[in-house]
Amino acid sequence: MVLNHDSVKPIYVQIAEWLETEILNEHISPGEKMYSQYQLADMFNINPATAAKGLNILANNNILYKKRGLGMFVKEAAKEMILLKRKNENLKQMVRDLVQEANYLGVSNDELYQLINDIRNEGQGE
C-alpha cells in the first residue's frame, strides 16, 4: 500500500483502513498479533505516533485488543465487525451520493434499480 499524503483523509485513518483491509483479505487472522506502531512507522516511513493513532482507531472500534506488554491482537469477530462498519458507513454514503446524483439527473427509481442490477450482473460474469 502507498499512503496518499495529498489526500484530505489523515494518514492515521489511511493506516487504519489498510489494516482493516488486511484483516478482510485474511492477511492478518483473528487472534494474530497486529503490527506494532514501530513496524508500521518503518513500513510506511511515518512517525510512530501517527501509526499508533491508526492502531488506536481499531482498538477503539473493538477490532483489536491490547495485551499488556505484548502488543495488540486481532479480535475473533474482527472481520464481521469491519464488514458491518463498512456497510453502515461507506456503503450508505455511496448510496446517498448515488441517489443524490440520480435525483439531479432526473433518473427514476426504476431506472436506478435497473442500472444497479445491470452493474451487479456485469460483475457476476467475471
Cell of 122: 456485469
Residue 6 domain-assigned (yes or no):
no
pLDDT confidence of residue 126: 54
**Is pLDDT of 5 > 90?**
no
| CA dist 46 → 11, 37, 59, 99 (Å) | 9, 10, 20, 38
Residue 73 phi/psi, 5-degree rounding, is: -130, 155
Residue 32 belongs to a domain = yes
Q: What is the pLDDT of residues 40-74, one digit of tens each?
A: 999 999 999 999 999 999 999 999 999 999 999 99
Question: 0.85 exceeded by the pTM?
Answer: no
Q: Mean of the pLDDT values across residues 69-88?
A: 95
| 72 and 84 co-located in one domain | no
> What integer best gives the mean pLDDT of the chain?
93
Kindly state whether residue 87 falls inside one of the protein's structural domains: yes
- In whole angstroms, how large is the CA radius of gyration of the chain? 18
Residue 118 has pLDDT above 60, yes or no: yes
Note down the domain range covering 41.
Answer: 11-76
Whether 72 and 99 map to the same domain: the answer is: no
- Specify if 114 maps to a domain: yes
Q: Which amino acid is at 99?
A: V
- Residue 4 maps to a domain: no
pLDDT at 11: 96
